[in-house]
Structure 1
């Protein structure tokens, strides 16, 4: 049975360097669960707009890190096909702290707070509104990035492939089940990365993403694990602070 045409058409969003490997992964999915992709192609899922493989716009040779989350945001305006980038978020700051859309996206809010702690702008013992207000006010005039698009550009500039364990979200399918179906695809992705002499670092967020450390193709890749950012404890994660702090992602490049 061939890969459904709508799924293949979505590959146009991926850089050409990735497409043969992604087709290999899709073929592996068809062999493992022959009904999954045909059912998906006839179903409603997020992200919409042909953005299923949007994360792979970053060319394969440019990947230095693979950041793996759980799955797309469960809102059409938020799901972009890129891990952790909420399409409903524009400005990052407000007069009183983080913007309302950032605060609504719990994971993004905690990621922002972790970055502020890592850069020494905020104390991990006090990340509430009162402490954030002066930080946000300063950020609007001190050369900090102002939008989520700029944060995404900074991550891409550091070579982050922003990937989800499950590339789709459907209300009627449990995320764990969805992610399990994508494992053969992810194995092809990691096999392509593992072939490189300069191995990218795998950054796994949450229990669903951490299941990928069990597949053979990730065995040779450096790995960093953390709880998912929707947990408040993520803000204090020393490994994440150590990784992201020196990158100064909140500064304009």
Structure 2
């Protein structure tokens, strides 16, 4: 689980800045990787290597597939070819343009934050002896409070509530919450599935954000 006081790290995003609530499953099982922010693996520094994505990114399967989906959405990769020489070429272009292309995972997180993402997990803890879906169910009352507060804040400010972006079956458990009905939604398979790379809905959603650019 996230250590070092990082359990609620995602809530550094000010409420008025939240435009999207991205919900994953749970923290990475490795302490160094669990940052309290979904999909942001604390063990990852550089995004790129000579062979494509860095070894640390490739180890974090969900992050790897998310990166490849962004590259497809940006027109830098073909969904039919997201490995081998195609990735080497993308990486080479990125590494020679650090003034235009982000180089590290903290830069990607900063871009997501700037776009207004609240990066939550359905469960804020990982316990090896408990199924993630069971832990996530226990956190539903907490998430009901979070979502209600976000919807109430938007209503007071005369704004549309943030868009819920739910990745995977565990995140979709939020459908059981009364507050869920107050939000526009985007739903996709979890990014640890290879099919996520070719998810057209996710490509269309993220393409205008240009998250890989500075």
Question: What's the TM-score bracket when you normalise by the shorter of the two chains?
Answer: over 0.9
| Two-structure CA RMSD over aligned residues (Å) | 0.7
1:218 aligns with 2:180: yes
C-alpha displacement at 1:214, in angstroms?
Answer: 2.3
Bigger Rg, structure 1 or 2:
1
Residue 30 of structure 1 is matched in structure 2 by none
CA contact (8 A) 1:166 1:179 kept: yes
1:168 aligns with 2:125: yes
Residue 40 of structure 1 is matched in structure 2 by none
CA contact (8 A) 2:35 2:41 kept: yes
CA contact (8 A) 2:21 2:164 kept: yes
Residue 117 of structure 1 is matched in structure 2 by 72
The C-alpha deviation readout for 1:150-190, integer Å capped at 9, x for no partner, is 00000000000000000000111111110011000000000
Residue 208 of structure 1 is matched in structure 2 by 170
1:250 aligns with 2:212: yes
1:126 aligns with 2:81: yes
Which consecutive residues of structure 2, in runs of 5 or more, have no partner in the other structure? none
Matches within 5 A, 1:58-69: 58-69=13-24
In structure 2, distance between residues paired with 1:233 and 1:214:
26
Could you say what secondary structure the match of 1:111 adopts?
helix
In structure 2, distance between residues paired with 1:96 and 1:90:
16
Residue 31 of structure 2 is matched in structure 1 by 76
In structure 2, distance between residues paired with 1:140 and 1:213:
41
Misfit runs of 4+, over 4 Å = none
Structure number with higher relative contact order (C-alpha < 8 Å, ≥ 6 residues apart): 2
Could you say what secondary structure the match of 2:118 adopts?
strand
Residue 139 of structure 1 is matched in structure 2 by 94
CA contact (8 A) 1:194 1:218 kept: no
